[in-house]
Homo-oligomer: A and B are copies of this chain.
Amino acid sequence: MQQIRVGIVGYGNLGRGVECALRRAPDLKLTGVFTRRPPDRVHIRTPGVPVRSADALEAEADTVDVLILCTGSAEDLPVQSPACALRRPIVDSFDTHARIPEHFAAVDAAARSGGTLALLSAGWDPGLFSLARVWAGAVLPGSRCETFWGPGVSQGHSDAVRRLPGVADARAYTIPVPAALEALEGEDAPPLSPREKHTRVCYVAAEEGADREAIRAAITGMPHYFRDYDTQVHFLSRQDLEREHPGLPHGGRVLCRGRTGWEAEHTARMEVRLALDSNPEFTGCVLVACARAAWRLYTAGERGARTLLDVPPALLSPLPPEELRRTLL
Contact = CB atoms under 8 A, between A and B. Distances in A.
Interface in A261-284: 261-262, 264, 266-278, 281-282, 284
A328 interface: yes
Interface string A48-90: 0000000000000000000000000000000000000000000
A20 B262 contact: yes
A279 B99 CA distance: 39
Contact of A308 (B121, B268, B313): B313
B309 A261 contact: no
A137 B326 CA distance: 14
A318 B138 contact: yes
A314 interface: yes
A269 to B, nearest CB: 4
A321 interface: yes
A100 B329 CA distance: 8
Given A289-B139, A312-B310, A269 B260 contact: no
Nearest to A310: B312
Tally of this chain's copies:
2
Given A20-B261, A268-B274, A281-B260, A314 B309 contact: yes
Contacts of A322: 101
Nearest to A131: B313
Nearest to A282: B268
Question: Which interface residue of A313, A322, A328, A329 has the most chain B CB atoms within 10 A?
Answer: A329
Interface of A: 17, 19-21, 23-25, 45, 97, 100-101, 104, 121, 126, 128, 130-131, 133-135, 137-142, 247, 251, 258, 260-262, 264, 266-278, 281-282, 284-286, 289, 292, 307-314, 316-319, 321-322, 324-326, 328-329
